[in-house]
Structure 1
Amino acid sequence: MRIMDRPEYASKPKPLTMTADVTVAEAVAAMSERDYGSVIIVDGGEKVVGMVTERDIMKRLVNKQRDAEKTKLADIMTRDVRVAKETDDLQDWLRMMSNERFRRLPIVDDGGKLVSIMTQGDFVSYTWPELLDRVSEQTKATVSNNYQVFLIAGGILLYSILLIFMLRS
């Protein structure tokens, strides 16, 4: 399944974007106003150059006792942000996000311009129902395709039980 095929993809609000020269105080105010957990740092062409999350603010600003009014987003942003295209496979990105431990995935067009953002929370709504369906389908396929194995295993189990009862008598 492609990222763009998720129902919530079409209704996602536009990501909060700012340039690297904006102060952390301005970004925090905008994030708080919109109840967003991150701001995507873009250049003049709307291409992703970084990201600042609540965690970045906590670790790189608050913990270092920096002044939010004077510190620029460039000073605390995560650089080399992974980005996806809306035609990319959703499961591949979910696996990468889990393995590489990041929770926000900016989505860009073919020109690299930011168009949306998906979070692990968006993917969770996909994973559980889909996972249960796949396990159910795989179980049915495995059992129906390998019923001989189950018959043999069942026969051995039944023989063992009967043998135990006969030895006790």
Structure 2
Amino acid sequence: MSIGKYCNRDVVTAPPGISVHAAARMMSQYHVGDLVLAEHVDRERCRPVGLITDRDLALRIVARNPPDQDDLLAVDLVPRPLVIANQNDDVFDVILNMRRANIRRIPVVDDFGLLVGIATADDLVGFLADRLHELSLLIRQQSLREEDIRAEDV
């Protein structure tokens, strides 16, 4: 199961040079908890270079209230090199990589490194819950079938 099948393809992007205040306004406008900072390679496609979250804004700007916050760019809040997933990566490998990197969101790219979507911990929990539900239905179905077989034997 490749992550490309399950990632959210509706990604809000912003240029790396966007101010933190403009980034916060974009998150509010689009009702999202993150922005993928990306450099456009053409009109429709872009290459992710960073990711900023509402948590980054809350903990690094609001809570600390730095004196230079009006001059800060979103890219200044990117804490580490961007961890990405290829759209062909296995869902479970992506989950493991997210845990290892201690991240809840991961941009998904194609073989050329261009953005195709984003996978979030919340989305992946939903994916796993759906699979577990299907498995529980199988178990229930087999139990009912065994009861029918026992009833026929009587």
**TM score, norm. by length of structure 1:** 0.69
Q: Report the CA distance between 1:27 and its aligned residue.
A: 0.8
Structure 1: unaligned runs, 5 residues or longer:
141-169
Contact 2:87–2:110 (CA under 8 A) maintained in structure 1: yes
| Counterpart residue number, 2:117 | 116
Which of 6, 11, 17 lines up with 1:15 in the alignment?
A: 11
Contact 2:83–2:106 (CA under 8 A) maintained in structure 1: yes
- The structure whose Rg is larger is 1
Deviations 1:90-142 (A, max 9, x none): 011112223432110101111111111111111112212424629x77xx9xx
**Paired amino acid for 2:123:** D
**TM score, norm. by length of structure 2:** 0.75
Whole-angstrom CA distance in 2 between matches of 1:14 and 1:35: 12
Q: Report the CA distance between 1:68 and its aligned residue.
A: 4.6
SS at match of 1:94: helix
Q: Report the CA distance between 1:13 and its aligned residue.
A: 4.8
Whole-angstrom CA distance in 2 between matches of 1:32 and 1:13: 19
Whole-angstrom CA distance in 1 between matches of 2:76 and 2:127: 35
Is 1:24 aligned to residue 20 of structure 2? yes
Structure 2: unaligned runs, 5 residues or longer:
143-154
**Paired amino acid for 2:94:** W
Deviations 1:32-61 (A, max 9, x none): 011100111112432111111111112221
Greater per-residue strand proportion: 2
Greater per-residue helix proportion: 1
Contact 1:49–1:79 (CA under 8 A) maintained in structure 2: no
SS at match of 1:117: strand
SS at match of 2:75: helix
Runs of 4+ displaced beyond 4 Å: none
> Residues 2-81 of structure 1: matches in 2 within 5 Å?
2-6=2-6, 9=7, 12-45=8-41, 46-66=46-66, 68-81=69-82
Whole-angstrom CA distance in 1 between matches of 2:83 and 2:23: 21
Whole-angstrom CA distance in 1 between matches of 2:13 and 2:22: 12
Q: Report the CA distance between 1:78 and its aligned residue.
A: 3.1
SS at match of 2:50: strand
**Greater relative contact order, per chain length (Cα 8 Å cut-off, separation 6+):** 2
Q: Report the CA distance between 1:14 and its aligned residue.
A: 2.5
Q: Percent identity?
A: 28
